[in-house]
Structure 1
Amino acid sequence: MSGSNVWSRSREKMRLFPGLFAQCADEAAVYGTCVAATTTGKQELRKDLCVKEFEALKTCFTNAVSKKSQ
């Protein structure tokens, strides 16, 4: 049955995630700092407040995934 194969592939991809994400620790820390700084008190996170930091994290993660698949 092809359905079980889908779950096997998904589980394998999820196992790779921590290692790939670790390659972007600096970008993740900068993004997290931005989110924390812009949501002090009861202030809610608004779209695009940390867009620059998010884009840097997204680019790093995309690059890490691309390197892994080569």
Structure 2
Amino acid sequence: MSGSNVWGRSREKLRHFPEIFAQCGDEAAVYGKCVAATTTGRQELRKDLCAREFEALKSCFVNAARKRAK
């Protein structure tokens, strides 16, 4: 199994990313603010600190991608 068209399918999906991302701007901003607030100074981002915000962003991406596919 060589997967000769894997890169073509991946590129096609990535072409739609800006459109999908634009539909999730509010969720992306909330997640970004959470990450920025929890990594001030030299602190490292720890797992699950922004899990709720990430799940909201992920859910938005999935829903926007589904709408795009229809």
Aligned-residue Cα RMSD (Å) equals: 1.4
How far did 1:51 drift? 0.6
Question: What's the % identity of the aligned pairs?
Answer: 71
- Kindly tell me the number of residue pairs found equivalent between the two proteins: 69
Question: C-alpha separation between the residues in 2 aligned to 1:7 and 1:38?
Answer: 36
One-letter amino acid of the structure 2 residue matched with residue 41 of structure 1: G
Structure 2 CA distance for aligned equivalents of residues 29 and 58 of structure 1: 13
List per-residue Cα deviations over 1:17-69 (Å, max 9, x = no partner). Answer: 11101100000000000000000001110001001100000000000001111
- The aligned runs of 1:31-50 (5 Å cut-off) are 31-50=31-50
More helix per residue? 1
Q: TM-score, normalised by structure 2?
A: 0.91
Residue 10 of structure 1 and its aligned partner are, at CA, apart by 1.4
Normalising by structure 1, report the TM-score. 0.91
Looking at structure 2, the residues matched to 2 and 55 of structure 1 have their Cα atoms a distance apart, in angstroms, of 31
Question: Any unmatched runs of 5+ in structure 2?
Answer: none
Alignment gaps of 5+ in structure 1: none
